[in-house]
Each structure stands twice: as C-alpha cells, then as structure tokens.
C-alpha cells in the first residue's frame, strides 16, 4: 500500500464549495471570538477580540460578495441589492 501521486489538472473541489466552506469557517471564527469576548474580564483583551471580530466579518463579507458576483452561486443576490 504505497502512496501514489497523480498528475491531475482539475481541482478536486469546486470553487463554489471552497468559498462556502471558507464562509462557514469565518462565521465559526466570529462565534469563537464572541465567546472569548464574553468570557474575558480584561478590557484590553476585549478590545482585541472586538478588532478580530471586525476583521473576520470583513473577510466573510468579501467571500459572500464573491459568491453573489458569480452567476447562480448564491440566491442572496436580491437581498444584497435591497440592502445596498
């Protein structure tokens, strides 16, 4: 049972799936930072968590914008136009 390496030219996963997984992980990161923020009693760490939540939210928003921009990837296109 040796390992084998193949010369594949196609990615094993679609771009849509990878963007979806990154979006989920981004939301999980925000939830983890929120849990850490609620459990921390130090003000300096709370400010640091708030900064991390803001950055993770911006990252997740960029991923969702990519999904909306691609035709047919997200059914939230109409919500995005209504919010803007």
Q: What is the pLDDT of residues 29-59, one digit of tens each?
A: 999 999 988 988 888 888 888 898 999 888 8
Asked if residue 57 lies in contact with residue 41, where contact means CB atoms within 8 angstroms, the answer is no
In 3D space, the residue among 66, 69, 37, 74 whose CA is nearest the CA of residue 54 turns out to be 37
> In this structure, what are the phi and psi dihedrals at residue 75, rounded to the nearest 5 degrees?
-90, 10
Looking at residue 62, its pLDDT comes to 85
Residue corresponding to tokens 């849509």: 16
Between residues 81 and 32, the one the model is more confident about:
32
Name the pTM for this structure: 0.65
In 3D space, the residue among 30, 26, 11, 32 whose CA is nearest the CA of residue 63 turns out to be 26
């Amino acid at each position: 049972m040796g390992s084998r390496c193949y010369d594949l030219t196609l990615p094993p996963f679609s771009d849509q799936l990878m963007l979806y997984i990154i979006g989920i992980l981004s939301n999980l990161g925000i939830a983890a930072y929120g849990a850490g923020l609620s459990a921390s009693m130090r003000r300096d760490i709370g400010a640091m968590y708030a900064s991390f939540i803001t950055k993770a939210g911006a990252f997740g928003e960029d991923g969702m914008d990519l999904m909306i921009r691609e035709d047919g990837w997200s059914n939230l296109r109409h919500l995005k136009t209504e919010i803007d």
